[in-house]
Each structure stands twice: as C-alpha cells, then as structure tokens.
Structure 1
C-alpha cells in the first residue's frame, strides 16, 4: 500500500465465472486484484462450485471471495474491478445472471452503506446467496454485514442450494 494505513478500508469482493476455464479466470482475477495499486490482499477463500442463478441453460459457476485493505474510494475500486472484468473478456449485454467469463462484485466496503445507481453496498444479494455467504464466512466468520447482521446468523438461514467447496 502506498498511502497511509489510517485511511484503509477493508472490502470484500465476490468473484464468479462460468465460461472459458472458470477456475483459471478466478485465479487470474485474484492475481489482478492483488496487483492493484493501493490494494493489499488480506484473505482469499476456497473455490466453490455452484449451479447458475437465473437461466439454467448455462454452465455451473466457480465462485470465491477475497478480502482486501484499500485506500481506494469505493467508486475507484469498482472501476478497477470492471476494468479487470473487461480484460478477462467480460461483455456486458444487459442480461441479468447470464453466463460470463468473469463477474467481480464489490460486496462490502468497510462499514459503509452505499446506494448509487452504479453501486449498491452491501451488494444486494449478499445476505441470501450461498455462493457469496459461505466463502465470505470462511474468511471472515466474525463479520458484521452493514445493515444485514452478523454473517453467522445470515448463514444459518441460507441453504447450500447445491454449493460445494472444491478441494
């Protein structure tokens, strides 16, 4: 990190892919995020296999969650994540929950609640999606999700829905 540690925010990023070697897409994105200026990796979850959310006529997903410390403002971090998605062949067609080479979601940004047209934090589905909650719980079992509650409580009411941790 190049800036002072006093301004650091702990953020959590969800990673997902179901096209063009999803595990490699996740591992490559992990390295790209860790290599961003003003980003320090704190933790990275196991990879998880999950059935697609939304249209079922697409391949299953590989998901993970990464914890970082950063001095980047939330919107700058979002733009950096979108740039990494683009570099990995992500094409935004407006289709919700469709197949993609890479999906990077800013799940949590410190204790902040952000509601902007281009960014909602905590991420809209953070409290209900097994493919987000279980990897997040793996790396941050004491986490308080702003406006949603303790992750341990959220996970108790979230069934696995086919989610499997990969070896």
Structure 2
C-alpha cells in the first residue's frame, strides 16, 4: 500500500488533529471524569448515577409522570421504566395511578429515599467542590456563558452559521 504524499510539510497526524479537536476533547473529558466520580460515590449507596438523578427529579416534582422523568433524564420511556422498577425494588420510590387516568403513573418517593437524599447531596457537594477547586466565581460565570452559547450554537440551524 502506498502512503499518500504530503506536500504541505505538516505531518499527517498533526494536520488531522486541530486545536478545535483538542478543545472539544477536553470539554468531553470533564463530564466523563465527573460521571466516574459520581458512579463511585453513588455505588456506596447501592445506586447508579441515573437512579440518583431520578430520585432528585422526583423529589423536586412529586407526582411527576414517567414521561416527564424520561424527558428530564433524556432517556427513552422504556429505559426510565426500568430505572423506576429498580427504585421500587429498593423501596425508594413508587408508582401511583394518576387520578382521572389509570393509564398514567405518578412517581413518588418513599421515606427511605428521603432519608438518604441528604447524604447523596453531601456526596455531590464534595464532588462539585473538587471539580470547582481554585476556580473563581468570575471564571464560573464566564464558563457558564460560553457553554450556554455553545449549546445554543448546536441547537440552532445551519442557516444561523456564518459563511466559511
């Protein structure tokens, strides 16, 4: 096999890895590491990070439906059904038929979940403190602004993009 000839004077590997790539890879690395920290932390409680997030959303909005929870977790309804099944087996949450429509299930926390949520909150706070160590409030505001803009850029259509 013949290697393609590079006449630009730049090594092929360097020409394929741009500063934008490195920036985006770094952006992707932070949530990956954060997920690993959360997974290790919630495992001590016998929970997955998704189960912990589900508990928090249900706590915030008692009686929310599985459909609402699936939107919050950005998961398919069937996957959320599995998460809720697990929470029910662990006696942390329960489904209750909605008044007026027995086809709809409302989600409610059970006392055991309410007991462990403060401990889970403390774990999350420790992880966040480690994540944000030596980052000033000004830097946090700037990062929030940048991430909000990037998120908006990805949601907008290509017609909003400047010409190349």
Interval of TM-score (by shorter of Structure 1 and Structure 2):
under 0.3
TM-score of the superposed pair, with normalisation by structure 2: 0.23
Greater share of helix: 2
TM-score normalised to the size of structure 1? 0.23
* CA radius of gyration, larger in: 2
Highest RCO, 1 vs 2 (Cα 8 Å, sep ≥ 6): 1
**Comparing both structures, which one devotes a greater share of its residues to strand?**
1
